[in-house]
């Protein structure tokens, strides 16, 4: 097994002390030119790589910030990471990505490890925001934190979010204008702030204009969307008009799952059921039936959050916490086109 040369081997090869090697690496102006060159030659010959992380830990900090996401498999968070990395690279900082999997205990373990590694700060879409949470302990001990895709009413941290209430209203207004009078909301758990707000937004938009039912899901995945669709498809197949003619999903993964299951069961989209998702991930437009979705500025969320975190880190106590809220945009595609009436469909079939 090949071992990496250390500073002792470099000193031995160059015929100098370990302190001299350290000076060449950190304060080269203190070392005579000929001696410095011998050390550099030894470094090149041995392939020595300095242990920068250990040096940074001794100094009390690292060149890393962390981004803790709810679901690393969700393309929404992939774009958020891309934006955060772009901002961090401008400052010579690396982003470490952790996946909580929407699990509070897993989130706590990640925060424990990140604090042990003395990361400079944490970007997070939290699962647990309780007053005594591990996240609050991290903030109280002096680690800068910025919430991502989540608003915050507290003055102890910055946040970057999208107005999810407005996003839910945009979806609701669109579906009501398309003539839908029974809409199903698919999403969960409601303890996730984004899910709660998107449901609240559509409920506000359709109040007194359409019936809104809820199909809860344990998480925000394609599989959960397919499971929810089985319930909705059963209602669609039943006789009578009292069934959902449209579905609004809390994110695009759920919506893609609903679309897949409906297509497999022979339920037509949008003729039998219209579908609107949330996030407008890249796959939304490429779906078998292009998916209408509420668009979020995903990369901008990550870039802005990282910029706020780095500003707090570098401002040395002068930073003022800010809460940035972006506006969503409804992108209308084929999945939510105006449904034909049953009479129109029957007439078309007899021609």
Which pLDDT tens digits describe the chain residue by residue (351 residues)? 445 578 888 999 999 998 898 888 878 888 999 999 999 999 888 877 665 555 554 444 578 999 999 999 999 999 999 999 999 998 889 999 999 998 999 999 999 989 888 899 999 999 988 878 889 888 888 899 999 998 876 777 899 999 999 999 999 999 999 999 999 999 999 988 899 999 999 999 999 999 999 999 999 999 999 999 999 988 777 655 678 999 999 999 999 999 999 999 999 999 999 999 999 999 999 999 999 999 999 999 999 999 999 999 988 678 899 999 999 999 999 999 854 443 333 323 333
Q: Are 200 and 171 a contacting pair, CB within 8 Å?
A: no
Query: Quick one: which of 11, 12, 38, 36 has its CA closest to 26?
Result: 36
DSSP 336: G
What string of DSSP letters covers 28-51?
GGGS-HHHHHHHHHHHHHHT----
**What pTM was computed for the model?**
0.78
Q: Can you read off the two tokens belonging to residue 66?
A: 């962390």
Q: Can you read off the two tokens belonging to residue 332?
A: 């209308």
Cα angle vertex 120, ends 118, 123, to 5°?
110
Query: Quick one: which of 197, 196, 199 has its CA closest to 184?
Result: 199
Backbone angles phi, psi at 137, to 5 degrees: -60, -40
């Amino acid at each position: 097994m090949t071992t990496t040369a250390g500073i002792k081997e470099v000193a031995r090869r160059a015929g100098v002390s370990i302190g001299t090697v350290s000076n060449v690496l950190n304060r080269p102006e203190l070392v005579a030119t000929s001696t410095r060159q011998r050390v550099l030659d030894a470094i090149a010959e041995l392939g020595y790589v300095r242990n920068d992380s250990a040096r940074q830990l001794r100094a009390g900090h690292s060149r890393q910030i962390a981004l803790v996401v709810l679901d690393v498999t969700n393309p929404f968070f992939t774009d958020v990471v891309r934006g955060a990395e772009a901002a961090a690279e401008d400052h010579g900082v690396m982003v470490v990505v952790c996946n909580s999997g929407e699990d509070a205990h897993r989130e706590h373990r990640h925060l424990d490890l990140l604090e042990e590694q003395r990361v400079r700060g944490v970007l997070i879409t939290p699962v647990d925001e309780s007053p005594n949470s591990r996240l609050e302990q991290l903030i109280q001990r002096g680690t800068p934190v910025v919430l991502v895709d989540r608003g915050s009413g507290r003055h102890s941290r910055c946040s970057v979010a999208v107005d999810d209430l407005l996003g839910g209203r945009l979806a609701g207004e669109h579906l009501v204008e398309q003539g839908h009078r029974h809409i199903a909301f698919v999403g969960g758990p409601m303890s996730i702030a984004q899910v709660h707000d998107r449901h609240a937004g559509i409920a506000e938009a359709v109040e007194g204009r359409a019936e809104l039912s809820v199909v809860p899901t344990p998480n925000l995945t394609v599989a959960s969307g397919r499971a929810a669709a089985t319930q909705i498809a059963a209602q669609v197949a039943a006789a009578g008009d009292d069934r959902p003619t449209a579905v609004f999903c809390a994110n695009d993964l759920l919506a893609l799952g609903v679309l897949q299951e409906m297509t497999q069961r022979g339920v037509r989209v949008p003729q039998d059921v219209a579908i609107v998702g949330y996030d407008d991930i890249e796959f939304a437009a490429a779906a078998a039936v292009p998916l209408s979705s509420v668009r979020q500025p995903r990369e901008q969320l990550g870039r802005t959050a990282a910029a706020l975190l780095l500003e707090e880190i570098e401002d040395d106590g002068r930073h003022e916490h800010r809460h940035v809220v972006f506006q969503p945009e409804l992108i209308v595609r084929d999945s939510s086109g105006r449904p034909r009436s049953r009479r129109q469909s029957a007439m078309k079939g007899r021609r």
